[in-house]
Structure 1
Amino acid sequence: MIDVDLMHVTSLIEGNPVKQIEEKVMNVISPFNGEVVGKVSLASKEVAENAIESAYQTFHQTMKKMPAYQRADILRKTADLLEEKTEEFAQILVLEAGKPIRDGRGEVGRAVQVLRFAADEAKKIEGELVPMDAAVGGENRIGMVRRLPIGVISAITPFNFPLNLALHKLAPAFAAGNTVVLKPAGKTPLSAYMLVKLFEEAGLPKGALNLVIGNGSEIGDVLVTDSRISKITFTGSPAVGINLRQKAGLKKVTLELGSNSPNIVFEDGDVKAAAAGLVRGAFAFSGQVCISAQRIYVQRGVYQEFLDQYISAVKALTLGDPADESTDIGPMISEKEAIRAHSWIQEAVKAGARLATGGNREGALLEPTILVNVKPDMKVVCEETFAPIVSVIPFETEEEVIEMANDSVFGLQAGVFTNDINRAMRVAEGLETGGVWINETSTYRQDNYPYGGVKLSGVGKEGVKYAIEDMTEIKFVGIKLS
């Protein structure tokens, strides 16, 4: 276990720790045992403004002029360094986020992959020639479209995947030639600090990535409204995202705001595979995953078969210390969140739902919970639980289940289990979500496909190639030949 008892991190501007006359210090708390695992100095509004100015100057003086091969080399070297330090970063994720150590290593592995995807994509940013003579009067003219970096990007990241989701914002930004001011979640600043230092070690120019750690109430507006910022990319709650977008004005905005993902199991699907996949799909990282399987719709003919297999598999999960190699499910991010989620379970039960398994809480540890006999208006169904809670709901027909799945303010990603390719495509077409997986759970995500939702799940796309497209501007250049 890495010793971070005395790890005191600060905001970083051009690689230098920020010193403030009046310093506010916040403890970083282990979600599992409540122990202090680090300390962080909180940034003021002035620090945020200085970080933006530094990133703005670095963009115009350095990053926008840096050739693609150099940007790719920096990203590739960062990936190599991160891979070498897999265990160190995984241990930090255990401490600050309560992530089971095996999942922590998995997150680091994905983060390495994101960096390598970005290194590849940095060399593929292309424009096009426009056939000017397609228009009357276009003879003897050449038209070209170039794709150029947009400038300073404000990246605001969540606690649940503090490393990988940060890199889904940082890596495409640098691949395109932009600079970034990064604000990590207050509960998980240690991994962000380590990541910024890693980029510095890999040769990223000073000022291209500045870290601002602070309260949203203190520095949030600056990171959204400052005229030197060209784009905001945010992952978090719908309420905050909507407020952010209203304040952003004409800036580009990418918002990933969560979901209550539906997963549909048809009678002709592989029930055993569905049940096995949806154990992790619903309960990985205590359900604190934006695309976590929250609503499972099972066709009536296989409902009981699925439920029996599913309950048995969920009961076999090990709940406990995230540092233990055998732990499947660790704590939620805080006891406060566990209490909130537990109250939703109790509220559902009082309204007629039945506990198939789980439902108990100890501190920040909430048992993996399966509910049946739920109603559409219960919070555990219609809102985002962001907790180890899943509802299993029977259905009769294809048309009925599509309507049930779409009866939501969210629409991020869905899973469908069927061996009928025609049905699979019909349902995929009918579901109001940004993505659909066939014979895979909604919780599966690769880092190279377009990822983002509709409705209250947000706007814009992540996925390295697709994020780069929104982190660049198209410029037309025309030439009239003599």
Structure 2
Amino acid sequence: MIQVMSDYGYLRKRYDMEMQFLEVRSPVDGALLGKVPALTKEEVDIRMQKAKRAFIKWSHTSLYERLSILYQTAELLEQNRVELAELLLHEVGKSKKSAESEVIRTAALIRHTADTAKIIYKAPMNGDNLGGYKKGKVALMERLPLGLVLAISPFHYPVNLVASKIAPALAMGNTVVLKPASIGCLSGLYLVKMFQKAGVPEEVLQTVTGKGNEAGDYAVTHPLVDFIHFTGSTCVGQAIAKKVSLVPAIMELSGKSATIIFEDADLDVAAKYIVGEAFSYSGQHCSAAKCILVMELVHDKLISKIAEYMKLLVIGNPLEVNADVVPLINKKSADFAWAMIQDSLQKGAKLITGGERQGNLIQPTLIDQVTADMSLVCIEVFGPVLPIITVHSKEEAVSIINGWKDGFQAALFTSDINRAILMAEELEVGAVGINGKTERGSEYLPFLGMKSSGISVGKMRYSLEAMSKVKSTVVNLTIE
């Protein structure tokens, strides 16, 4: 069992209070994995003040020094990938393969972040680039840090979506206070230790643990915070936005990711991608295929192929098998997913396969004859359920997707690349995959949604730019 103490103990003594901890239990077998402090407002203040005081010194370290630390962190992650993957397996119920993949991807993300920071950190601009100016004027464009970044991460990628916030913030010279989700916090804290072991001073990278509606709510309104990077539900993101004033932010929020299947699609390829993306980690990620819109002419064939590929899914306890479909993160999530399934069936949808539940483990479920107004379609569900809507035209498919309040990602399967590109332009979503998964792809690419699926753009260059400000120094040269 892990017990994270840090230096919180003396604060409890100072305020004459008993140390309070939150238990971290495995969603797989209920085992007690560790305890983390449930911080008071006074303790959050201390964390914030430490990070703020450390800003001046850290921001004046050289870019080379900061990026060297990031490269070293990536090395440490790869060296410790087996141990961290084991923690991910127990703490959030990922399969061994998925857990190791997250760690390896995270190391790559940190390296890419450091590589990109070198490119955008400083750049000259000659005066004669624009009309009306001569060669004697040169502007030196430099990106400066904002100050203290508050990073708030979710449970489903407790390593990758922590690193995507911490790495760009540190690279640009900011200090960071991390508030990890209560579920998955041990994995996030493990990553923090890797950053610190690589050379990040402890005061530069602080952590706040506790319940979101207590420590988290207080942290987002803290006057020392200069930037917020949040990944989580739209309702929480909206609540944060209402509480803060003039604090810039990146918010990666809820979203439906739809897949559209045209008559000329390669149905075998489409079905394989759909099943892999819809049911991996039991659909507990925002880019999972959440809804299929299929043209009537190929509806029956697609359903048949999806059902066949679903038979290949490995279902069960990730401690025992390398499972695709695992127990959901907690009973609340399982109850919600199950309620959405039952609601759709009561309203006339047809169960094709699945529809069974053992505790928090829901069998991969395929539901046909779903209509666009059903809650299963309109609301994001973190669970192994895939609804099918029959459509009769491209226009109908676009209308359904653009009618949702959020617009995260989409995928199109067709052999007509012209139609695909033109349709992609019509869809009000952050990213469109053509003949592939509903995912953005490489860590180099932007991570965003439209409408209520997010504010600003995350990952790589975009996070680096968001967590910094531009300063230009104009030099007037004397030309003989």
TM bucket, shorter chain: over 0.9
1:223 deviates by 2.0
1:302 deviates by 1.5
Match of 1:20 among 2, 12, 17: 12
Question: Residues 49 and 222 of structure 1 are in contact (CA less than 8 Å); yes or no, is this contact kept in structure 2?
Answer: no
Cα distance per residue 1:156-184 (max 9 Å; x no partner): 00000000011111111112111110000
Matched, 1:250 2:242: no
Cα distance per residue 1:28-69 (max 9 Å; x no partner): 1111222222222211111111111111111112x2112121
Match of 2:417 among 421, 424, 427: 421
Instruction: Write out aligned runs for 1:128-143 (5 A).
Output: 128-129=124-125, 131=127, 141-143=137-139
Structure 1 residue aligned with 2:232? 236
* Residue identity (%): 36
Aligned-partner Cα distance in 2 for 1:189–1:116: 23
Local SS of the residue matching 1:20: helix
Structure 2 residue aligned with 1:282? 278
Question: Residues 133 and 140 of structure 1 are in contact (CA less than 8 Å); yes or no, is this contact kept in structure 2?
Answer: no
Match of 1:93 among 88, 93, 103: 88
Aligned-partner Cα distance in 2 for 1:57–1:269: 58
Structure 1 residue aligned with 2:79? 84
Question: Residues 401 and 407 of structure 2 are in contact (CA less than 8 Å); yes or no, is this contact kept in structure 1?
Answer: no
1:141 deviates by 4.7
User: Which residue identity lines up with residue 318 of structure 2 in the other structure?
Assistant: P
User: Which residue identity lines up with residue 193 of structure 2 in the other structure?
Assistant: K
Aligned-partner Cα distance in 1 for 2:129–2:205: 44
Structure 1 residue aligned with 2:262? 266
Structure 2 residue aligned with 1:153? 149
1:324 deviates by 2.8
Match of 2:30 among 34, 37, 49: 34
1:138 deviates by 8.3
Give TM-score scaled by structure 1 length: 0.94
Cα distance per residue 1:414-441 (max 9 Å; x no partner): 1111121111111110110011111111
Aligned-partner Cα distance in 2 for 1:421–1:278: 19
138 and 421 in structure 1: CA distance in 2 versus 1, 3 angstrom threshold: same
1:19 deviates by 5.3
1:119 deviates by 2.1
Local SS of the residue matching 1:371: strand
Question: Residues 411 and 432 of structure 2 are in contact (CA less than 8 Å); yes or no, is this contact kept in structure 1?
Answer: yes
305 and 55 in structure 1: CA distance in 2 versus 1, 3 angstrom threshold: same
User: Which residue identity lines up with residue 86 of structure 1 in the other structure?
Assistant: R
265 and 93 in structure 1: CA distance in 2 versus 1, 3 angstrom threshold: same
Q: Runs of 4 or more off by more than 6 Å in structure 1?
A: 135-139
1:239 deviates by 0.9
Local SS of the residue matching 1:377: coil
Question: Residues 127 and 135 of structure 2 are in contact (CA less than 8 Å); yes or no, is this contact kept in structure 1?
Answer: no
Structure 1 residue aligned with 2:56? 60
1:308 deviates by 0.3
445 and 386 in structure 1: CA distance in 2 versus 1, 3 angstrom threshold: farther
> Higher mean Cα deviation, 69-78 or 132-141?
132-141
Matched, 1:461 2:453: no
Structure 1 residue aligned with 2:180? 184
Local SS of the residue matching 2:226: strand
Aligned-partner Cα distance in 2 for 1:457–1:18: 41
Structure 2 residue aligned with 1:123? 118
189 and 17 in structure 1: CA distance in 2 versus 1, 3 angstrom threshold: farther
Aligned-partner Cα distance in 1 for 2:221–2:124: 33
479 and 201 in structure 1: CA distance in 2 versus 1, 3 angstrom threshold: same
Give TM-score scaled by structure 2 length: 0.94
Match of 2:403 among 407, 420, 425: 407
Structure 2 residue aligned with 1:3? none
Question: Residues 122 and 140 of structure 2 are in contact (CA less than 8 Å); yes or no, is this contact kept in structure 1?
Answer: no
Cα distance per residue 1:66-123 (max 9 Å; x no partner): 2121112111111111101111111111111111111111111111111111221232
Local SS of the residue matching 1:239: helix
Aligned-partner Cα distance in 1 for 2:400–2:213: 38
Local SS of the residue matching 2:176: strand
Structure 1 residue aligned with 2:104? 109
Structure 2 residue aligned with 1:205? 201
Could you list the runs of 5+ residues in structure 2 that have no partner in the other structure?
Answer: none
Cα distance per residue 1:299-346 (max 9 Å; x no partner): 222111111010121133121111234322111110221011101111
User: Which residue identity lines up with residue 478 of structure 1 in the other structure?
Assistant: V
Local SS of the residue matching 2:228: strand
Match of 1:74 among 55, 65, 69: 69
Question: Residues 121 and 175 of structure 1 are in contact (CA less than 8 Å); yes or no, is this contact kept in structure 2?
Answer: no
Matched, 1:175 2:167: no
Local SS of the residue matching 1:143: strand
Q: Number of aligned residue pairs: give it.
A: 473
Matched, 1:196 2:192: yes
